Chain A
Amino acid sequence: MKAYDETDLALSFQALGADYDVRVPILLSDGTRSLGRLEEGKMALAGGKLGAKPTSVFFPQMDLVFQQKGTNVRMQAPPSKPLMVVGLTAQDADCLAFLDRFFSTNFKDDLYRQKRMNSAVVVLSGKCGRDGEMLRLSSGNCDLELVFDGDRYLALAHSQTGKAMAEKMKGGLETDEISLGRLQRESKALPDDELKLLQRASSLLLDNKVPEDFWVDISNRCIACTACNLACPTCNCFDVFDWKCGDSCVNRYRLWDSCQLDGFMREASGHNPMGTEALRTRRRIHHKLAADVIRWGQMGCFLCGRCDEVCPTGIGIKAVSREMVEKYG
């Protein structure tokens, strides 16, 4: 296997740019790390998960659905080059797999899939978290994984696409697998108390052990900023709206929506099945920890940690689960 330093990687990504529209973590002007093209800023691989959800590459906040001129409907064209996204964490890759499944099951969401099809996903793991913190290794649900050993990135191809990519990469030193083995062991030894907490909360919800009062109390602290939804890589809700783009020309867009808003489910009659803050707060947590378990056989939260970071009042899914488990076992 090969190990790359950052310079090698930058050159490699540039080379892969022939086949892909490459997005890597870059440093924005104030130090925020975000997905961008190589020419848009200094590459910043290390530093842990990105603030914005990386799934937004395939499912952006606002996206054109189609343009209609008279009776002629033109759907959004697929990207001219497939996307390559570098910088997901192992948790992000789990989220992406969940979203893939969601958008591809039953009716297939062409808008998402035309961006996702043929794309390449590169996970960063190992000692490249904030201040060198150890990040969990992926379960292999990505094309390529770059595992940082504190010095270099070990390249692990998990798919045919990944193998093809690895072949096109530049530089790199041939190394043995000893350090990878060590990192894998370290990754396995990472604490799993958060997952246990979530599973505990999930079973409390499935067993109907959380009373309405709990949700009233939490929802009193929610300012309906919608960030928990907007930041979550597995959240998929959207609204649709039309904008005129000239005489008899209309663009239809979709736009991230949030179940924390009263209008999300309010019906034309004014009736609202989720008409209280408590019901909406319950839904945010219950949907991920219980409803998804029933529908998809797995929780819809993979502990990426974003909702707890972006919630201005400290009621992300981990915080709520903790309170729930403290109160009800």
Chain B
Amino acid sequence: MSITVEKQADLKDPQEALYRPLLCKMVSVKELTPTEKLFRLERLDGRPFGHRPGQFVQVSIPGIGEAPISVSSSPSRGSYLELGVRRTGVLTGALHEMIQPGDVIGFRGPFGTYFDVDAMKGRDLILISGGCGLAPMRALIQYIEDHRDQYGKVTILYGAKSPIDILYKDELAQWVTSTQLNCQYTVDDVPEGTCWDANVGLITQLIPPLDIDPARSLAVIVGPPIMYRFVLQELKKKNLPINQIIVSLERYMKCGVGKCGHCTIEHLYCCMDGPVFWLNDVINLAGAL
């Protein structure tokens, strides 16, 4: 049950438009953590982006370049696009430093596969994310909140490095208190002198206590490369079959459309065949996880 690649509506004439950035306006910028900011974009022509949770856009700043950034908001919340961006280098640095609300920047996309919300219907969902992985996961969580009656039990697990690295703190608090969701989070480490009364330890510790019905559950995992192996071990112990696990993988990307070759995993292109994969499609590929 592989997800097919859908080309974006705007590329009706791909002969002309494959690498052309379209323009959008930075509507607002909000600080999430000292190294992460949330950017809200709207298209200049006012049309929707046509994004789905799990996809990404190529953000383009002339003179700086492009970088793939996951869509962090659900289309069910509006036609805007939100991006949660960690400052790591040239382009993300420019986004953080130079771009102000009102500025016009470029984007291409959205590209890539998305979380198969149809396949999730009627299932219990275990949504596991680490670090920056909460960015795309947030889009999915928002979508599920907005279509809550279509899904079974929803469990959200999130791990951050330390209390100050926690993303989307306000929403996280809402998810935790929501009666519709079971949300737990943890931090790897608490620096001395920090007040903290929640979980401490790796995200893997949150899995064993869960009551998972392997027959009706589906897990989604998004996080840094080293997280996958350990989380998968725990899920295996819960007897969750690999064709009920969805992962989102990241690779260094340049084109986003399966041409530049940077994102390949054996015969797959992470930008086009991914970033969202069913685990059974990639688990045996060298270097995938």
Contact = CB atoms under 8 A, between A and B. Distances in A.
Given A242-B65, A268-B88, A279-B287, A107 B258 contact: yes
- Interface hub of A71, A73, A107 (most chain B Cβ within 10 A): A107
B18 A291 contact: no
Contact of B252 (A73, A111, A265, A291): A265
B66 interface: yes
Contacts of B64: 242
A250 interface: yes
A257 B258 contact: no
B288 to A, nearest CB: 8
A75 B264 contact: no
Contacts of A236: 259, 261
Contacts of A274: 287
A244 B250 CA distance: 29
A287 B259 contact: no
B2 interface: no
A8 interface: no
Contacts of B17: 110
A217 interface: no
B63 A107 contact: no
A291 B18 CA distance: 25
B152 interface: no
Interface in A99-154: 102-103, 106-111, 113-114
B261 A111 contact: no
A239 B267 contact: no
B250 A107 contact: no
A237 B260 contact: yes
Interface stretch (B19-27, B158-166, B208-216): B19-27
B242 interface: no
Interface in B19-78: 19-21, 23, 62-66
A295 B268 CA distance: 8
Contact of B262 (A102, A237, A291): A237
A139 B17 CA distance: 34
A242 B63 contact: yes
A289 B106 CA distance: 38
B287 A250 contact: no
Interface stretch (B8-16, B113-121, B167-175): B8-16
B7 to A, nearest CB: 7
Contact of A240 (B89, B92, B254, B286): B254
Nearest to A244: B63
B104 interface: yes
A106 B19 contact: no
A266 B15 contact: no
Contacts of A108: 14-15, 18
Interface in B247-289: 250-252, 254-255, 257-268, 272, 286-287
B262 A265 contact: yes
B262 A257 contact: yes
B11 A107 contact: yes
Contacts of A287: 264, 266
Interface string B94-108: 000000000010100
B5 interface: yes
B122 interface: no
A103 B62 CA distance: 25
B33 to A, nearest CB: 16
Nearest to B270: A273
A294 interface: yes
B118 to A, nearest CB: 22
Contacts of A292: 267
A201 to B, nearest CB: 16
A238 B15 contact: no
B254 A239 contact: yes
Contacts of B16: 75, 110
A65 B19 contact: yes
A242 B251 CA distance: 21
B262 A264 contact: yes
Contact of B260 (A68, A252, A257, A290): A257
Contact of A109 (B18, B65, B106): B18
A73 B63 CA distance: 13
Interface string A225-249: 0000000000011111110100000
Nearest to A259: B261
B7 A107 contact: yes
Interface string A167-193: 000000000000000000000000000
Nearest to B284: A208
A238 B261 contact: yes
A269 interface: yes
Interface string A73-100: 1010000000000000000000000000
Given A68-B106, A108-B15, 16 more contacts: A73-B106, A106-B272, A108-B14, A110-B17, A236-B259, A237-B262, A239-B260, A240-B254, A241-B65, A250-B63, A252-B19, A266-B252, A267-B250, A269-B224, A290-B266, A295-B268
